[in-house]
Amino acid sequence: MLPYPSIDPIIVTIGPVSLRWYGMMYLMGFIAAYFLGRHRSKQPWSPLHADQVEDLVFYGAVGAVLGGRVGYVFFYGFDHFLVDPLWLFRIWEGGMAFHGGLLGVIFALFLYAKKLGQSLAAVCDFVAPIAPIGLGLGRLANFINGELYGRATDLPWAMVFPSDPSALARHPSQLYQCFLEGVVVFFVVYGFSQQRRPLWAVSGLFLLAYGFARYAVEFVREPDATLVLDWMTRGQLLSLPMIIIGAAMLIFSYAQFRRQGSLYSAVAIKTESKVKGRAKRQRKGKIRSHSGNDTQSGRKNKK
C-alpha cells in the first residue's frame, strides 16, 4: 500500500481570499485550451482565427463551470441540494460532473458559433481535441482533494484517503481517470484531428473515446450515487449515451462525406481584423469617389 500524499487543498491564503488547487487546475486547463486553440487556429480548415480563441475559451469556461456544477448537484447530490440549496454555489468544496459540464459547453459553443456565423459542428470539432487536458487536470484536483476515490482493493498501489470514513485501502481512481481521460483521450483525439476530417467526426471520436474511458474506470471507482440495475453506476449510465452517440456521429459523418463525393464543407473565417480592414477599404473607396466627384464638378465649373 502506498501512503496518500496529503496535500493542503489551499495553496495560499491572502486575507479572506484562498487560492485552492481545485480552482488552480481549472485555470491551468483554460490556459492550456487557449494556447492549444491558438495553435489549432493555424490549420487551413480552422473555423476560428487566433484572435477569436480568447472569446471561445471564455464561453467554454462559463459553460463548463456552470454546467458541471449544476450537473453534479442534480445528477449526484439532489437530496443534499434540497436540504442545503446554497451548496450549489460552493464550488470550492468540490463536485463537478463531466456530463453536466459537457451539456453546458455545447450550449455555450452553440451561442458562440451563432455569433460567429459558423456551424456548431465546425466549432465543436475545433474544441474537442483541446478538452481532454482540462479533464485530466480536473481529475488531478480530485486526487489532491481526496474525493471521488476508488473502491477497496489490496493492490500494492492502494491508498487510504483521509476523507474516507471507512479508512480502507482504495484504488486511486482519480489518477486512472487523469491518465485515461486526460492523456490517452488527448493523444487519440488530437492526433486524429491533425488531418482534416468530415464535420462531426472529431467530436464523435471524442465522445466515443471519453465514454469508453469513463465507463471502464467506473468499475473500480466508488459509486457516488445509487447503483443502477444493481451493478451499473450512475457514471456508466450517463456514459452509455456518449458511446452510442459518438459512434453514430462517426458513422454519419463519413457516410455523409461519401455522399457528397468526398468533398469537405467550405469554412468561412471571419475575424475582427478582416472586418476592420474591409471597413477601412470601403471608407477609402468612398473618400476617393467623393474626391473624384469633386474634381469632376470643379472641372465642369471651370468650363
What is the rounded distance in angstroms from the CA atom of residue 101 to the CA atom of residue 115? 21
The pLDDT value recorded for residue 241 is 95
Across the chain, mean pLDDT equals 87
Q: What is the pLDDT of residues 47-81, one digit of tens each?
A: 999 999 999 999 999 999 999 999 888 887 888 88
Q: Residue 2's closest CA among 152, 150, 166, 170?
A: 170
Residue 194: is its pLDDT beyond 50? yes
The DSSP code sequence of 262-286 is S-PPP-----HHHHHHHHHHHHHHH
Domain coordinates in residue numbering, the chain: 10-270, 274-303
Residue 300: is its pLDDT beyond 80? no
Report the pLDDT averaged over residues 257-271: 74
What is the rounded distance in angstroms from the CA atom of residue 144 to the CA atom of residue 167? 17
The pLDDT value recorded for residue 184 is 98
Centroid of chain to Cα 185: 12
Give the cell for residue 263. 468533398
DSSP state for residue 181 in the 8-state scheme? I
Residue 199: is its pLDDT beyond 60? yes
Q: What is the pLDDT of residues 135-154, one digit of tens each?
A: 999 999 999 999 889 999 99
Report the pLDDT averaged over residues 193-204: 96
The pLDDT value recorded for residue 263 is 79
Report the pLDDT averaged over residues 221-239: 80
Q: Identify the helix (H) or strand (E) that includes residue 157.
A: none
Q: Which of 7-21, 156-170, 174-188, 280-294 has the lowest mean pLDDT?
A: 280-294
Q: Say which residue, 210 or 291, is predicted with more confidence.
A: 210
Contacts 24+ apart (CB under 8 A), 1-4: 1/156, 1/157, 1/158, 1/159, 1/160, 1/169, 2/156, 2/157, 2/158, 2/159, 3/159, 4/146, 4/159, 4/160, 4/161, 4/162
